[in-house]
Amino acid sequence: MHNKPTTPYPPDPLRRFVPTPLRAVFDVDQTRVVVQTNDFSLLPELPLSTISEEDDNRRFEWKIVRDYDAPGTLEKSVSVASEKLTTVTMGPACLVAVDHERHELIGFIGAEVDVIAFRHVLLPLFYRLTATTSGATGQGILLGDQESSINA
């Protein structure tokens, strides 16, 4: 009798193939943001998009993956930026990368990062990274002093 492999094939240490079946489209400071995730709590509470689908210059893709294997909560951020790519880490519980040319953000969020930390720390960071890439001001969506909680 043959034993079935216990690890997925092909191996996916970067979590590239994690299904993100939840999808929503929002307006963020005149940018159409398409959010895909595997965790309902990681969908922003924003108005649904009214921007025309034909305007690809104003489209930005976010793929937010809840990584159940990533331990811990958010730590002080460390960012590295170039003309084409920005990465931000907040300890093992958070890794975010933005491809400026493709207008794509991908984030891996640990299981211990709660909804409050996601909404008050990570979402403002995502908005700022999106605004920086798309050329928007980034001010239309931030609420109160939330931007001051971003360490990046």
**Which amino acid, 20?**
T
pLDDT tens-digit profile of 18-55? Answer: 889 899 998 877 788 999 999 999 988 776 776 666 65
Contact 122, 133 (CB under 8 A): no
Whether the predicted model's global pTM rises above the 0.85 cut: no
Task: Tell me whether strands 59-67 and 31-37 are parallel, antiparallel or unpaired.
Answer: parallel
pLDDT at position 44 is 82
Distance CA 138, CA 4 (A): 50
Distance CA 107, CA 122 (A): 10
User: Per-residue DSSP letters for 26-89?
Assistant: EEETTEEEEEEES-GGGS---PBP-S-TT-GGGEEEEEEEEETT--S-----EEEE-SSEEEEE
